Amino acid sequence: MNLFLAMMSHETNTFSNVPTDRAQFEAHDLRYGGEIIETYRGTGTCLGGMIEAAERCGAVLLPSVAAAASPAGLVTRDIYQHVKDRLLSDLAVAGRLDGVLLDLHGAMVPEGLDDGEGDLIAAVRRAVGPSVPIAVTLDFHGNLTQAMVEGADLLHGYKTYPHVDMAERGVEAGARLAEVIAGRLRPTAAFRKPPLLPPLGSQGTARGPMRRLYDLAEEMEKDPAVISISIFAGFPLADIPEAGLGIYVVTNDDPALAESLAERLSRLSWEHRREFTHTALPVPDAVAAALAADGRPIVLADMADNTGGGAAGDGTEILRELLRVRARSAVVACLWDPAAVAACVKAGVGSRITLDVGGKVDGRHGAPLTVTGVVRTLSDGRFIHKGPMMRGLPGRLGPTAVLDVDDVKVILTTHRKQALDPEMIRFVGIDPLEEKILVIKSTIHYRAAFEPIAKEIIEVDAPGLSSSNLERFAFTRVRRPIFPLDPEATYP
């Protein structure tokens, strides 16, 4: 059995002015051929799961291209076309193929296209023809579209946020694809897009409305006629017509069942739409609450400055307040500021310097902050994920400095990356358990690894492009009416 394998992953925040160009992919991940297998085998990723499934059933994998970049603004035409061309040229010389495995995101917006994944899947479908099955994994934040559903035989969305089931979904996609190839499954899919745009902060699957939906989906999946159900919370900050919640049900040769289950889940999501509203504490209140809390560490979640949601990662408002109230024993993980890192490198470890940090990308994450501190450590920014997400996968923050400003330790990085793993604090020589306050720039993902170690978690409503307060954004393209932008929207 010959299986073609490729990955392209990007979550595009169309409100961001940071273009996602080739350099952003090179800084994160841009690999070809056999290197993909070497890098991802055994990791907690979709590719890791796909490789495991393929090897389990003795398939021959034909790895093509793997491209991923930190969420930011539109993916430039140049890099999108490069990856697509590479994928199609590898397909053209692949010889006889039995199936295709694609690890995609679902909320990628290349320049001039609303639906990057729909376009990629359609291109692969044209290349392989109607009879070669295509199985695709998609992020929980994918904005499901008709083109994705029509182009692929199987879609497998992550069922968790934090995304701790990526490898599981990869295994599932590989195993189901093998069954389709063997003629044991005949996928028939249905999907629904209720007029619902859940903010990121209320999308967690541990509790709340997404848990309710997945509890019902798990019951439905016990029916052997159901192959898989994916409920995509969607990525609200990709301002495209099809942004928002999406429900996908794939059954074995039973289209009527798929339709009825999808409709039932869609109606349930709508009935509980008000549970998707989210509130967080203003910055001064949140910092005061952290200082007053017992024990350590107390996590201040900077939800709106999550690079994993396309925010700059250089927001200063919580740091500004920590310094204003003279907080001690605090860490900011992490602040993206290559110029500040360069200044620290130039000064050297142990030097006392004054510089501007953060607030440099746009006017939406607070103004730059002038600080004086001591360069505590410098590193090359390489670490290994050790938490429940992406365990085993190497991470690269680029040259990284820790600036100690009166015991508020600011981790300054050269690459943009969400602080979702305590290892991103440990590898620079700081023990997160010993600190009073951890400012974590992440919306939900940090919970997988930080909930078990945090004495308390406080969600902060600081400014930023991954804010769950959707009133902060001027939407122009998403279909209307849609809840909660239009509170009186009705179910179609």
Preceding peptide of 297 cis, ω within 30°: yes
The residues, ordered by sequence, that sit 6+ positions from 104 with a Cβ below 8 Å of its Cβ are: 7, 8, 9, 117, 120, 121, 136, 137, 138, 142
Instruction: Tell me how far apart the alpha carbons of residues 25 and 70 are, in angstroms, rounded to a whole number.
Output: 8
46 or 54, CB closer to Zn ion? Answer: 46
Q: How far apart are CA 98 and CA 349, in angstroms?
A: 56
CB of 151 closer than 8 Å to CB of 121: yes
Q: Are 306 and 315 in contact (CB under 8 A)?
A: no
CB of 339 to Zn ion, least distance (A): 29
- Residue 105 and residue 138 in contact, taking contact as beta carbons nearer than 8 Å: yes
Between 160 and 269, name the residue whose CB sits nearer to Zn ion: 160
**Whole-angstrom distance, CA of residue 96 vs CA of residue 4:** 10
Q: How far is the CB of 308 from Zn ion (least distance, A)?
A: 7
Q: With CB under 5 A as the contact rule, which of the stretches 12-20, 26-34, 137-145, 357-365 interacts with Zn ion?
A: 137-145
Between 141 and 416, CB nearer to Zn ion = 141
Over the window 55 to 94, marking each residue x when it contacts Zn ion by CB under 5 A and - when it does not, the resulting string is ----------------------------------------
CB of 442 to Zn ion, least distance (A): 11
Instruction: Name residue 5's beta-bridge partners.
Output: 63, 101
> Measured between alpha carbons, how far is 279 from 460 in angstroms, rounded to an integer?
9
Phi, psi of 70 (to 5 degrees): -60, 140
Sign, CA dihedral 366-370-373-379, equals: positive
140 versus 214: smaller Cβ distance to Zn ion: 140
Pull the structure tokens for residue 68. 């991923």
Is 141 or 385 the residue whose CB approaches Zn ion more closely? 141
Q: Which is nearer to Zn ion, 139 or 317 (CB)?
A: 139
User: Which residue sits closest to Zn ion, CB atoms considered?
Assistant: 141
Residue 168: CB minimum distance to Zn ion, A = 15
> Considering the rule CB under 5 A, would residue 169 count as an interface residue with Zn ion?
no
Only segment of 69-77, 138-146, 198-206, 354-362 that touches Zn ion (CB under 5 A): 138-146
Contact with Zn ion (CB under 5 A) among 52, 103, 115, 139: 139
In the complex, minimum distance from the CB of residue 464 to Zn ion, in angstroms, rounded to a whole number? 17
Stretch that binds Zn ion, among 25-33, 37-45, 136-144, 461-469 (CB under 5 A): 136-144
Contacts with Zn ion by CB under 5 A: the residue count is: 3
Residues 373-412 that bind Zn ion (CB under 5 A): none
Amino acid at 213: L
Per CB under 5 A, which region of 134-142, 219-227, 239-247, 428-436 contacts Zn ion? 134-142
Write down the least CB distance from residue 141 to Zn ion, Å: 4
| Nearest CB to Zn ion, comparing residues 331 and 390 | 390
Residue 38 zone, left/alpha/beta (φ > 0; ψ -120 to 50; rest): alpha
Q: Which residue, 139 or 435, has its beta carbon nearer to Zn ion? A: 139
CB 234, min distance to Zn ion, A = 10
Stretch that binds Zn ion, among 127-135, 140-148, 396-404, 470-478 (CB under 5 A): 140-148
Q: Which residue bears the tokens 């429900």?
A: 247
How far apart are CB 310 and Zn ion at their closest, in Å? 11
- Selected binder of Zn ion within 31, 141, 176, 436 (CB under 5 A): 141
**How many Cα atoms sit within 13 Å of 49 on the Cβ side?**
28
Closest to Zn ion by CB, 318 vs 389, is 389
Residue 163 CB, shortest distance to Zn ion, in Å, is: 6
Sign for the pseudo-dihedral over CA of 253, 50, 442, 11: negative
Neighbours of 95 (CB within 10 A): 7
Cβ closest to Zn ion, residue 141 vs residue 417: 141
Whole-number Å distance between alpha carbons of 194 and 306: 26
Give the orientation angle of helix 46-56 with respect to helix 166-181, to 10 degrees: 40
What residues make contact with Zn ion under the rule CB under 5 A? 139-141
